[in-house]
Structure 1
Amino acid sequence: MIAMPRQMANAGTEFQARAPDLGAAGLDVTIASESVRRACGDVPLFERVLSAGLDADAVAREDRQRALDLVAWAAWRSGALSLRDDALRRLDAASLDVQRAAAAAVLRVPLEHLEEFCTRQAHDRYWWPGRSDANGYVCSVGGFRGLGGAWIRPPERVARLSEAGAFAVLVAEEWWRLDSDVWGSHLTLLGADAPASLAGSDADAGADDGVRLVISDDTHLAWLHVQDR
């Protein structure tokens, strides 16, 4: 169904390619972009959604605190998973209508769904308004290394880790760690030893929250799927 690794929330989303300028707010976008890169985010996407937020809140171009809010939301939206908690705190604190409109513009969540998005993210890190349109699929990860992916063989086993959004995947006798949420996914090679934080049995059998990492012996991809309940 999905040829290459991707986040389904990005499918069909158009972003204006434009380099943002936050110099008047005392922020260096080049430094921010490098921080996003180190956090495994997509830098072009970060800059595009940040520009969308500035279009929705022009005051943020000169207001450092509001600019920092936009940077945090844009970094998370671009797949920098380590910014998730900070971005959600800033969403909770956003009270002005213009700030919430800017957050919706950055996240590409319709403004009328922003409150629901924030509420659901508290207990479902994979929810966005279009998930049902994707038949519950959130992302695909891995892929054939010869075509730019991560793995030389199809994954053989998946297991749930104790940390939120984390899985272990066994591929060619090596374990990989997957960290994931609605906007981003990141694979880290762990090596031959099974991770100490394995939560128990294989996760491909499903879990109480309906989240599965689905694998097959005829593809190098693993699909993260959520069954709504």
Structure 2
Amino acid sequence: MMHAADLPDTIPVFPLPGALMLPRARLPLHIFEPRYLAMIEDCLKTKHRLIGMIQPRDTPASEKREGEKRLQAIGCAGRLTGFSETEDGRYMVTLSGISRFRIKEEVQGFTPYRRCLVDWAPFARDLGPTENDPGFKREAFMALLGRYFAKLNLSTDWDNLKGAEIELLINSLSMLCPFSHEDRQALLEAPTLDTRRETLVTLIEFALRGGADEEIMQ
């Protein structure tokens, strides 16, 4: 487990539209672009091995910095815990979510990838134990999820979902369900697990109401 004192002031950031990582969750990545190959190599040389996953904002071309999109204010850093290299030089990596962060400013430098000065303080609870959600009603939630998966023709291992710990279940669904970039950002910024679950339920209900008049689950 990492502690607040272990977190660096500056981290490399990987702007990836639609990618969502959350504390204590895992995100596999396929790295092939040269600047991000360099980022992984540099990350492996550090003690903390942290990379910040963040979504770019949809901004007019005139507001882009040297052709690069502006970044969302909040992202999530993951520790590089899995690494393998393919025969053609691509990297397959796994990041384990550590803590969310707020960007203070982007650091100008000589690396081909982007780096940011970040503030961890607003998300101190991310470094704590697994969160619980006392208001979670598994039976009603799974019924709602079943309707959602059926509507979208999605398949899953229902036995594993039914037995999953609450935090793992909510965070995994937040990362894997086909939500918009804006919705993923809202899930990331939810301050607690219960507010993330409420946001997730709202998004699922909204998707269901798009094709049928569904009853809202309270």
Give the shorter-chain TM-score range. Answer: under 0.3
For CA contacts below 8 A with separation 6 or more, give which structure has more relative contact order: 2
TM-score between the two structures when normalised by the length of structure 1: 0.26
TM-score (norm 2): 0.27
